Amino acid sequence: MRGPPRHPGYAPDVPEDPGGSRPRAPLDRREFLGLSLGTLAAGAQDSRPATAPAALARRPLGRTREDVAILALGTHPLSTLPDAQEAAAVEIVRRAIAAGVNYIDTAPSYPSEQALHRAERRVAAALAGCRDRVLLATKSYRIEKARALAELEGSLRALGTDRVDVFQVHAVGDRDDLRRKLDPDKGTLAAALAAQQAGKCRFLGVTGHADPEVMAECLAVHAFATLLVPVNIADPLWRSFVRHTLPKAKAAGTAVVAMKVFAAGRLVAGGKTTPAECLRFALSQDVATAVVGARSVAELEADLGAARAFQPMPPAEQERLGQSLAPHPGQTLEWYKRS
């Protein structure tokens, strides 16, 4: 099945390249130390037997009356693993759930239009026997109501479930996109409303990473339960979702789910920042949870460690980290935003 051409709001969750994509660059010495020093220091204090890791903190998911762990699992990276590593991909999801992650974000288009539903099938394998322990979110960027409903049905089959918790209108890019996708009679929103009425999803969400003003305007069109947008150290410097969109979501009671926390590795490449700093920054904003992806259990465990150790980042430190990236290189770093 061929999908529609890429529209202005579409940007992959990791950079597309012919050699295969990765969620982040390999950890260099600084990054490794940034994640590990806290653990090493704690272990040096005494020689008592190791205890169970701390539980992940939870926050309300907006007005849904659900609570979510501050770390959520994104599934694009694990969907890029080859078939020979299928078991490893499934194990990442299982380990996340066992650690207390209870929000999983996926999509039929992960990893690509040429391999539809791969991520969802891998999530389904991991959810066997524990579906009710997680909030499951999927999405569609099909513009027409009928096509979006058909895509949701495909997602439900791939996920092995009769309903998802969050169905998201995906990748709203510009105002024309907003007008067409959020048409309550013919657009993706119409499909989401019909699915909700039919009991095939509980909550409705919207996603976008191109224009913070457009995403704020989405909240005036419909009372979405969730908003999936970029939240990272670089964001406040240029066309900022943190500055322009998050306050509108808070006022509307819409839960913000942070994505592109590492800017697909570009923020940690070359030691610009550490993964721990990126996650701490994102969780210090008005967000319910931060979605991170992993291509290995080791990457997942590093993110879990940073989330368990989370302490709010003072505004002065946030400013210092942002200014360390200045002058902002625009789409070189945040390729997904419209200039």
DSSP, residue by residue, 23-49: SSPPP-HHHHHHHHHHHHHHHHS--PP
- pTM of this structure: 0.87
How many Å apart are CA 71 and CA 7, to the nearest integer? 29
> Which pLDDT does position 328 carry in this prediction?
85
> Which pLDDT does position 329 carry in this prediction?
85
Structure tokens at 160: 């092995």
Question: Is residue 255 within 8 Å of residue 64, measured between CB atoms?
Answer: yes
CA-atom Rg of the chain in angstroms: 19
Average pLDDT over residues 14-40: 39
Q: How far is CA 240 from the centre of its chain?
A: 17
Question: Is residue 105 within 8 Å of residue 137, measured between CB atoms?
Answer: yes
> Which pLDDT does position 7 carry in this prediction?
39
pLDDT in tens, 134-163: 999 999 999 999 999 999 999 999 999 999
Average pLDDT over the chain reads 88
Q: How confident is the model at residue 267 (pLDDT cuts 50, 70, 90)?
A: very high
Q: Which H/E stretch holds residue 135? A: strand 135-140
Domain ranges of the chain: 29-34+55-326
CATH number assigned to the domain covering 29-34+55-326: 3.20.20.100
- Backbone φ and ψ for 3, nearest 5 degrees, come out as -90, 175
> Which pLDDT does position 232 carry in this prediction?
98
Q: How confident is the model at residue 326 (pLDDT cuts 50, 70, 90)?
A: confident
Q: How confident is the model at residue 339 (pLDDT cuts 50, 70, 90)?
A: confident
**Which of 11 and 4 is assigned the larger pLDDT?**
11
pLDDT in tens, 213-226: 999 999 999 999 99
* Beta-bridge mates of residue 228: 207, 257
pLDDT in tens, 65-92: 999 999 999 999 999 999 999 999 999 9
